[in-house]
Structure 1
Amino acid sequence: MELIAKATALVGGTVAFMRKMGAPSHQAVGAAPDIPDAKKQGIMTLKMPVAQGWQEGHLPSCAPGLKVNAFASGLDHPRWIEVLPNGDVLVAESKEEVGPPKTLMDHAAQATMRRVKAIGNSANRVSLWRDTDGDGVAETREVFVENENQPFGMALVGNDFYLGNTDGIKVFNYVPGSTSLSGPGKKLVDFKPHGHWTRSLLVSADEKKIYAGVGSLTNIADQGMEVEEGRAAIWELDVASKEARVFASGLRNAVGMAWEPQTNVLWTVVNERDGLGDETPPDYLTSVQDGGFYGWPFSYWGDTVDDRVPQDAELVAQAITPEYALGGHTASLGLCWMPEGTLPGFGDGMVIGQHGSWNRSKLSGYKLIFVPFENGKPNGAPQDILWGFLSDDEKVAYGRPVGVVIGADGKSLLMADDVGDIIWRVTAA
């Protein structure tokens, strides 16, 4: 009990210290962000609102011309969404499972995460939701697959259903129209679990490759580079040969992935490192080059060196500068391409679910945003689609955005909310 009390005091003390230092007056956003100089924190800022969820009749706020409703509710920490060809909606219900804390900082971090239900017992299942009458609300719920290991990413290629568990990729046989998978599945690729545990999946347009995001174990390779081998990367799985390789590296925690259809280039959103300040460095949206290196852990935003890390000058010189900053610690997780005509008032661009910060003095994220694109690149300031997931005093979280997809009708967005335990549906008003 004494250790828990000290951990709680540590959380409050770090937030008070950062307030005293002063929060940045602006967010590092856009193609040419103004990134503040790094300020090593020593003790990392910890601040997390209490997870409350939504009261009856309380909804997120949405952009003019839009409306939002609960497509599905009563889930257990929904994280990622996949829409099947017949319109069935799959939802991965899972959360991080942690071991006993080893240090005072572990206690403090775990106490912070529990406040918003980010860690605990994982449901470890994928549920299937079916809207039989097309009214935008699912009427039936089935267990599609269960007893998996922190399932997250999903992908369908023909009748092969791929599932990204924290410890690897499995494949199952899928019968079109079925409400569940049968059999244990076959494991194709092994990934190291723990740390940044999510394993998103994305299929190439020709369905010959599957890409998987595998985050780092630690913040800045705190336990050495050996345990980070194969991590902080996007992997590529060849569907025919079942061979896998690292496609791009130096990406601390690449979660959502999407294709930009004009150029057929892979894009991802990346959660950057902690302990250098509220806005330093920003999370980002970037295209991903085959064989590209994006800096982690040695540098950020290209060749800006993080001198807390033993350096590799050759790799820093190769580091690719991301294309679009999303603000510090926004925890940008969900990503999908939204073509013009999907929602009124929005053109072509990327939709991003910002889960929200836990490690800065003034919270950021906690909304669903849109980044406009032109000629295959971001073009313009981000636009809010949904907000209101956080109370004005930052003490309460009603919800936290995660995965986002285009609905089966092509005229809606579906977004997972892992605090509200809801799948929200956004359409024209």
Structure 2
Amino acid sequence: MTPLHRLGLAIVLAAACGVFFAAKPEPVTDEAARRIRLSPGFAIQIFAEGFEGAPRMMTVGPDGHLYLTLMYGGQVVRLPDRNRDGRADGVEVLAEHLELPHGLEWHQGWLYVALSNAVIRMQQKGATWQRETVVADIPGPSGHFTRTLHFGPDGKLYVSVGSETNFGPERDPRRAAILRYNPDGSVPQDNPFARDPDPRRRVVWAEGLKNSVDFTWTGRGALWATHNGTDHLGDNLPPEEVIVAVQPGGFHGWPYCYTPGLGLNLKAERSEVPDPRTDGFDCRKAVPALFTAPAHSAPLGMAWGGSQFPLEYRQSLYIAYHGSLGVQNPEQYRDCKIERFIIQNDLPVRSEVFATGWREPGQMCRDAWGRPVGLVVGSDGAMYVSDAKGGRVYRIWYRGK
């Protein structure tokens, strides 16, 4: 008897007994499953595909569905999986014609969305989605134009804004920084520069961060951010500052300083960038990175392990490496992958590859089959990964060894 016949017989018997159930389908062996290599026991499948607008950041709504920004498409979409088969039922467009939407997150019944020049929030009213502007004057889309937002444990709105150039210093103090607002867009009075003579600086929470594409909080409330640093010092300098322990009111080094060495940094060291524009800045005053990797690794999205993962993986931090274009030597091209960071005593003590295979050996990630960007844990406890290059969203879950 074939498996299909056995399933049919089981359904008939269940119906005869007055019992009805939904059979859980087996995972589809699709292109992602064939290409991507994962840590033992994990599986991957394409959750949604065919996006042309560069899928970037994701969040999970109070309805349990996945929400996604299509940056170049100017859209915010919802990807429901109502039958729980591991594939999106379709793509529901909630907003369009937006200015490079990137970060998004739900807070108190509102879906907040970071645009390149503003923060808006959306709320469903009947069959339509109404929107209003929360912050109207985010520095514009020149230079690094992605904007990411999250709400912290304190209920405040945090927004990362990248630098205007690859060399600095910045003309606007709100660039190369993480900003902090009240949910209505006003300035919290406990911001470190809330009484600064320059009104633009009053929303700054932390400075000297060239391009922190994503950030998160640890279980003890520490703010950790990824960081894409200086590009013009060759293939191997400066080390990529993969995890920065962001300090309120702190200056984190860019464009004057970088953190030397690779891996966990416990020496609190900083080195100067050999550039005449440093103007004698004392790098000992800059906050060093907590963990570094080879230059041009391009760390982007980050997330903690999913509740469906085994305990040791659930307590790890995951970061998507986009694979930068800044390396000239083909033998040193950086991989587009997902790294797992093992946390001990609230420190990222080491990392290991969690998912890889989007590119061929010797291939730059810009030419690869895909490049991971955003990470988020779904309502099912699995991890979802956006791929701006391939126009896909993947689902990673633990199948068991």
Which TM-score bucket, shorter chain as reference?
A: 0.7 to 0.9
Query: Which of 275, 279, 287 lines up with 2:232 in the alignment?
Result: 275
Q: Could you tell me how far apart the structure 2 residues matched to 1:241 and 1:166 are?
A: 16
- Matches of residues 74-153 of structure 1 in structure 2 within 5 Å? 74-76=50-52, 77-94=54-71, 122-153=72-103
Aligned to 1:63: 39
**In 1, Cα distance between equivalents of 2:170 and 2:61:** 39
Check the 8 A contact 2:102/2:146 in 1, yes or no.
yes
Aligned length: 339
Structure ID, larger Rg: 2
Q: Secondary structure at the match of 2:146?
A: coil
- Alpha carbons of structure 1 residues 162 and 309: separation in structure 2 relative to 1, 3 Å: farther
Q: Are the structure 2 counterparts of residues 213 and 62 from structure 1 closer, same or farther at C-alpha, using a change threshold of 3 Å? A: same
CA–CA distance in 2 between the matches of 1:147 and 1:281?
A: 38
Q: Matched residues in 2 for 1:67 and 1:265: separation?
A: 31
Distance 1:89 1:56, change over 3 A: closer
- SS at the partner of 1:346? helix
Alignment partner, residue 370 of structure 2: 399
- Answering whether residue 390 of structure 2 is matched by residue 420 of structure 1, we say yes
Q: Is the 8 A contact 2:256 2:281 kept in 1?
A: no
Match for residue 73 of structure 1?
A: 49
> 5 Å matches for 1:106-255?
122-174=72-124, 181-183=129-131, 185-192=132-139, 193-207=141-155, 209-221=156-168, 225-239=169-183, 242-243=186-187, 245-255=203-213
- RMSD of the alignment, in Å? 2.2
Distance 1:314 1:328, change over 3 A: closer
Contact 2:134 2:185 (8 Å CA) reproduced = no
Task: Assess if the C-alpha contact under 8 Å between 2:240 and 2:293 holds in 1.
Answer: yes
Question: Which 5+ residue runs of structure 1 have no aligned equivalent?
Answer: 1-53, 95-121
Q: 1:347 to 1:123 in 2, by over 3 A?
A: closer
- Structure 1 residue identity aligned to 2:378: G
Whole-Å separation in 2 of the counterparts to 1:259 and 1:83: 17
User: How big is each residue's C-alpha offset from its partner over 1:229-258, in whole Å with a ceiling of 9 and x where there is no partner?
Assistant: 321101111125622611000011111111
CA contact (8 A) 2:333 2:362 kept: no
Q: TM-score, normalised by structure 2?
A: 0.79
Give, in angstroms, the shift of residue 202 of structure 1: 0.9
Instruction: Kindly state the Cα deviation for residue 226 of structure 1 after the two structures are TM-superposed.
Output: 5.0
Deviation at 1:86, TM superposition (A): 1.4
Q: Secondary structure at the match of 1:227?
A: coil
Query: Quick one: which amino acid aligns to residue 275 of structure 2?
Result: R
How far is the alpha carbon of 1:92 from its aligned partner?
Answer: 0.7
CA contact (8 A) 1:152 1:200 kept: yes
Contact 1:161/1:174, CA 8 A, preserved across alignment: no
TM-score normalised by the chain length of structure 1: 0.74
Q: Secondary structure at the residue paired with 1:212?
A: strand
Q: State the 1:341 CA deviation.
A: 5.9
Q: Which runs of 4+ in 1 moved over 4 A?
A: 54-58
Alignment of 1:321-336 (within 5 A): 321-336=288-303
Higher relative contact order (CA 8 A, sep 6+): 1
**1:341 & 1:172 partners in 2: Cα distance?**
30
- Aligned to 2:283, the other structure's residue is in SS state helix
**Cα deviations by residue, 1:169-194 (Å, 9 ceiling, x for unpaired):** 1123345xx786224x2242422222
